[in-house]
Amino acid sequence: MPVWTQDEAGPYQAIPQSGASWQPVGQPQRRPHEYVRGGTAKLLTLFRPATGQVRAKEVTRATNAVLQPWLQAELTQVLADLPPLTMTEEAERPPLARWATWLGREPREPLPPLRLRLIWDNLAGHLSRSIVRWLFRHGVMPLSTPLSGSWLNLAEAVRRILVGRALAGEHPQAAGELIGWLDDTVAGWNADPTPFTWGGKRQERRLRARQRRLGGSAAVLPESHLIAV
């Protein structure tokens, strides 16, 4: 069953952005002596870590009236692209594909088969009755996690990559430029997305760094000691 994460970020201001940039030798990038604010933009993201696919929308406001219709439209497309569902009794489905596993009880009303899990934070707007009922009726299980939760970290990580590629070292003059650059960057990412997996190269680097701090190979140390450090 696919797992998607949803998050929103910003606002990003239309002012000179920090970061490195490519410049001709002897012609450093020059900045204005004063910042004229040209508006702001926010980034709505729907991210599937297993494939690296990002669905995003750049907006000037991220109210529920903007976020919820966009999310419903995107999830409708995602569900339509899933393989045809094999109709089986709820009790015959794998535990992770049953509503009761995530709700902690049997649903109080008939629901369609569970097809997707949506991880997002616990903002008040995400708990509104209208969006939650829409998700349930379309076979989507929303799972709210605290800020900085592990799955949200993945959504925030890909967002930092996208924003860095789009804005680092640049000087957008208006919100329209921010939106255009972010949109182009998302399209470039989706042309060759990078899956996010647990226990990848980054974890290997952390383990090697931990071994160096311990003064030698961690192979001789108990696993419980490594976890506690």
| Helix (H/G/I), strand (E/B), else coil: 201 | helix
**pTM listed for this prediction:** 0.79
In angstroms, the CA 29 to CA 192 distance is 30
Where are the chain's structural domains? 3-198, 199-229
Structural tokens at position 22:
């490519």
Burial class (CB in 10 A: 0-12, 13-18, 19+), 12: buried
In angstroms, the CA 227 to CA 224 distance is 5
Given a contact cutoff of 8 angstroms between Cβ atoms, the answer to whether 59 and 44 are in contact is yes
Sorted by sequence, the CB contacts under 8 Å of residue 188 that are 6+ apart come out as: 165
Specify the residue for token string 């049997």: 106
Structural tokens at position 79:
């569900």
CA angle 80–84–90, rounded 5-degree value: 110
In angstroms, the CA 10 to CA 1 distance is 30
User: CATH: 3.30.420.10, 3.30.70.2700, 3.40.640.10, 3.90.1150.10. Which one for 3-198?
Assistant: 3.30.420.10
Structural tokens at position 60:
């000037």
Per-residue pLDDT of the chain (229 residues; tens, 9 = 90+): 899 999 888 898 888 888 777 778 888 777 777 777 778 899 999 999 999 999 999 999 888 899 999 999 999 999 999 988 776 777 788 888 889 888 888 888 888 999 999 999 888 888 888 999 999 999 999 998 865 567 878 888 899 999 999 998 888 888 899 999 999 999 999 999 998 877 767 778 888 888 888 875 544 444 444 343 3
In angstroms, the CA 103 to CA 105 distance is 5
